A and B are shown apart, each in its own frame.
Chain A
Amino acid sequence: MASATEQRETDQVREIGHEEYDPVGTAILIGIYFLILVLLWLFMYFVEFLGNGPTVVGALLTVVGLA
């Protein structure tokens, strides 16, 4: 490891090591992000398909005889 890695932050009030650190807040934020992505995907379904125009999926279903 290079010598220029940061040693200590001045505002630090406690030292948390690798074993004792549990990034639960990160898990929550990432979970919220995934939820937003899922909701946006659902929203895109309405934008994409409710116009009832031709779509690639529709064409594919036609080709394989499903629609």
Chain B
Amino acid sequence: MEVTRMSSTASRTYLDQFPAEAKVIKAAFWSSFMALAIGGLLGLVQALHRTDVLRFIDSADYYTVLTAHGILLAITFTIFFLVGIFTWAVTTSLDRGVVDIRFTWAWYIMMVVGTILVGVSILGGVVDAIPMYADVLFTFYAPLQAHPAFYVGLVLFVVGSWLAGADWFRTWWAWRKENPDERIPLPTFMALTTTLFWYLCTLGVALSILVFLLPWSLGIVDSVNPLLTRTLFWYFGHAVVYFWLMPAYMMWYIMLPKLSGGKLFSDPLARVVFVLFLLLSTPVGIHHQYLDPGIAEGYKFIAMTNTMFLLLPSLLTAFTVVASMEHGARQRGGTGYLGWLKALPWRDPVFTGMALAGLMFAAAGFSGMINAGMNINYLVHNSWWVVGHFHLTVGTAVALTFMAAAYWFIPQVTGKELWSRQLALGQVLVWFVGMTFMSNAMHRAGLFGMPRRTAEPQYQGFNFDPAVGTVGEINAQVALGAVLLTVALAMFLLNMVLTSFNDDSDSLPANTYAGTLSGPEDSPAVLDNLKLWTAIAVVLVIVGYTLPLASIVESGGLFGPDIGGFQLAIETDPALVLESVREVMP
């Protein structure tokens, strides 16, 4: 069961083992951190603006800031970090480098060029000298329209990520030739299954951009079907959340047990979880459209059923990861029903950051169940609740895990010791506390109907009616939380920058990941049959999406009933918006 083979490379860092790959990974991490720095700061601007604590931007520009915050954090920060982690995972677990490092640099540079195009076109919303605009929010579907450069940038970024996936597959194929009878090592298995559903789900957004949004933005076609572009966006838009989450899951499965002092409880269970995500991540997107007219309730019900099935791999993960941590704690001398919790290495920022991120994810599990239920979703749809929810998932489960992981990875890929472990420990705690304030208050505000995506949720002649507390108290908690999160962000970036100025260290830990209590030999070989799982995933997508898409095209036309686009921040007169709000508010 347990593997005891010692590697000749076991005492070496990743930089010692794979110096060429370490450079690409370091570059990807820094691209990710830059996006985090800019996007995070813009988050503070929004939180202070919305809550009316400090308003120094025009409210029409709020949507430019919101777009940059969403795209830079949800797409750029997460995916750059992911490609770094997955490249590490594939090369480390296969114990071989990538096939051609030039190819690896090529996809990284392609992603960077895409990001710059996207970033500059968004910046055009507030800088007059840039003749571009992209105030389309993270959910970039019609009728909001962006400059063509925004869509071209997104295409380059996504194609770059496809090539990264191809790189991991090539590396695995090369390894398989040399090791024809071996099971796929778990980290590589995780990277490959995640890549497969990424290919599947990004087909939707590629179709949306290349066939509809880009030609529409270029003036080649006059109109689009907004519901069709929304549906294609959400076809991608829910799977993308698992794309962010899978590297965090990978860290919880293969790093947390090791950091706890134990072994992964079950390799087969981990494989089952990743197969389930491959199968179920994509045919669920319609659960973001429960309130969209034009999609029949029956299709929404199918999407809800698939979504509820998705709880299964997350609950399996909760069990497996906590059981692995308990194993570590007991090996470290922990005893009792819950006393073992004290034996965990809480002074290690990498462990504590990931464990707190997992705890937040458990809370997000509840708000996610509310979002997923068709009837209760109506209560919270488009309210601040949803923002609270995804700040627990991508904003903490993913972001905090990534930051904690960076405290281990940056030394591994640079050969330099972390500048301050104390600062790192403080940072993960401040993030956790800040998010507790902010996210909890957002959830509560959503329950009494405070809208999301709104620069000024303060209305004349209307007051929100919280069941408990006051709007002022909720706003204060959001502002306080946002300030704490920004402080944590600064602490993180400071530690990263100062680490890169450290001298090279000889005392870094070896580049290893967790062993297993129950290894792949305990699971059926069919789990590694990626072709089979991909085929089933495709069938589920066809079942979940063919009829809704056909129905949308039939009722609204492929290019829509003559829907022109508009640029949100430039053409919207705030007075008109206020007027229309007054009309609908009692």
A residues contacting B by CB (< 8 A) are 1-7, 9, 11-18, 21, 23-26, 28-30, 33, 36-37, 40-41, 44, 47-48, 55-57
Contact = CB atoms under 8 A, between A and B. Distances in A.
B169 to A, nearest CB: 17
A21 B467 CA distance: 47
* Chain B contact patch, size range: 35 or more
Contact of B322 (A1, A13, A30): A30
A7 B4 contact: yes
B517 A17 contact: yes
A33 B512 contact: no
Contact of B333 (A5, A13, A44): A13
A40 B337 contact: no
**Highest count of chain B CB atoms <10 Å: which of A2, A5, A44:** A5
Interface in B549-569: none
B536 interface: no
Nearest to A28: B337
A27 to B, nearest CB: 9
B94 A2 contact: yes
Interface in B169-212: 183, 185, 187
B379 interface: yes
A49 B316 CA distance: 31
A1 B520 contact: yes
15 contacts: A2-B93, A3-B7, A4-B10, A13-B333, A15-B331, A16-B330, A18-B517, A18-B518, A23-B265, A24-B337, A26-B323, A33-B362, A40-B366, A47-B467, A56-B374
B173 to A, nearest CB: 17
Contact of B337 (A15, A21, A25): A25
A29 to B, nearest CB: 6
Contacts of B362: 33
Interface string B504-529: 00000001111111111000000000
A7 B10 contact: yes
B516 A16 contact: no
Interface stretch (B99-107, B338-346, B455-463): B338-346
A50 B542 CA distance: 39
List the 8 closest A-B pairs by CB distance, nearest first: A3-B7, A56-B375, A23-B323, A9-B261, A5-B515, A2-B185, A26-B323, A1-B3
Nearest to A57: B375
B516 A5 contact: yes
Interface of B: 1-7, 9-10, 92-95, 183, 185, 187, 258, 261-263, 265, 318-319, 322-323, 326-333, 336-338, 340-341, 345, 362, 365-366, 369-370, 374-376, 378-379, 447, 467, 511-520
B340 to A, nearest CB: 5
B344 to A, nearest CB: 10
Given A4-B95, A9-B258, A9-B261, A26 B3 contact: no
A37 B376 CA distance: 15
Contact of A4 (B93, B341, B379): B93
A40 B379 CA distance: 15
Given A12-B261, A17-B517, 10 more contacts: A3-B9, A3-B10, A4-B95, A6-B512, A16-B331, A21-B327, A30-B318, A37-B369, A48-B376, A56-B374
Nearest to B260: A9
A33 B282 CA distance: 27
Contacts of B333: 13-14
Contacts of A30: 318-319, 322
Contacts of A18: 1-2, 517-518
Contacts of A12: 261, 331-332
Contacts of A5: 3, 512-516
B261 A11 contact: yes
A5 B519 CA distance: 11
A9 B331 CA distance: 9
B414 to A, nearest CB: 19
**Highest count of chain B CB atoms <10 Å: which of A16, A28, A37:** A16
A25 B337 CA distance: 5
B337 A26 contact: no
A39 B319 CA distance: 20
Nearest to A56: B375
Contacts of B379: 47-48
A7 B24 CA distance: 28
Given A37-B366, A47-B379, A56-B378, A4 B92 contact: yes
A26 B29 CA distance: 34
Contacts of B92: 2, 4
Nearest to A24: B337
A21 B265 CA distance: 9
Contacts of B332: 9, 11-13
